[in-house]
Amino acid sequence: MDALLAFGAALVSLRLSAKLVRRALEQRSTAFAAWAAALSAYAISTGALAWGVAAGWNAASFRIYYLGGALLTAPLLGVGSLLLVRRRLAAPAGLIYTGLAVGVALAMPVRLELAGMDVPDAQDVLELWPARVLAIAGNSLGTLAVVAVGLATFRRRPLGNALILAGVVVAALGSGLGGLGVGALAPLLAAAAILLYLGFVAPTPDRSH
């Protein structure tokens, strides 16, 4: 059941990412493209979670889980927020960071032999440098960008920004409650993806009248 819940969260995230890709193409929006990439990373992470729970964790499933969830999702959300307010340098910075994150995930030494169904704790599996330091820096800066842009533009997009901020909080809560098991974690991951998507596509109120 836990594996099915995690797989369901992955399908929800992937489906919402595809919808954002369509919007990015229709509107030629780099912000939607970055947000689509963030939800794709989220889907990859939750898919690896389902893999680990169903078949037992190994180095490959953990690397994918860590790449999508710990290294990419929050930074790409931050890139999308910065692009929304026309910070064009965010796009090349995001591409460079993504390449670095993929390289670190492939090369990072996995310290312990992984087995069993429980989600591994990064501090038990990885050295502090470079993977955990990069995750801390990327998540901190990405979340800061999302929150700063959300608050700065709140009056222009109150509903959308409130939903995005709620999605970030729910995702963070899910990570904090990972020790309770996948049965508690997977529904929170799916809820966070839905809140983020609704925030991204929420219309901006017309204040011309």
CATH class, 2-201 region: mainly alpha
Q: What's the half-sphere exposure (Cβ side, CA atoms, 13 Å) at 85?
A: 17
Q: Is the pLDDT of residue 1 over 80?
A: no
Sign of the torsion angle spanned by Cα atoms 95, 100, 103, 105: negative
Q: Is the pLDDT of residue 184 over 80?
A: no
Q: Is the pLDDT of residue 31 over 50?
A: yes
Q: Is the pLDDT of residue 180 over 60?
A: no
What is the arithmetic mean of pLDDT over 40-60?
A: 92
pLDDT of residue 142: 96
pLDDT > 90: percent of the chain = 72
What is the arithmetic mean of pLDDT over 148-162?
A: 95
CB neighbour class for 3 (10 Å; exposed up to 12, middle 13-18, buried from 19): middle
What is the arithmetic mean of pLDDT over 63-81?
A: 96
CA angle 91, 86, 104 (to 5 degrees): 20
Q: Is the pLDDT of residue 179 over 60?
A: no
CA angle 193, 55, 51 (to 5 degrees): 20
Residue 38 to residue 49: CA distance in whole angstroms: 17
pLDDT of residue 132: 95
* Residue ranges covered by each domain of the chain: 2-201
Q: Is the pLDDT of residue 174 over 80?
A: no
pLDDT of residue 114: 64
Q: Is the pLDDT of residue 176 over 80?
A: no
pLDDT of residue 6: 87
Average pLDDT score over the chain = 90
Which tens digits make up the pLDDT trace of 3-12?
888 899 899 9
Confidence of residue 209 (pLDDT cuts 50, 70, 90): very low
pLDDT of residue 205: 78
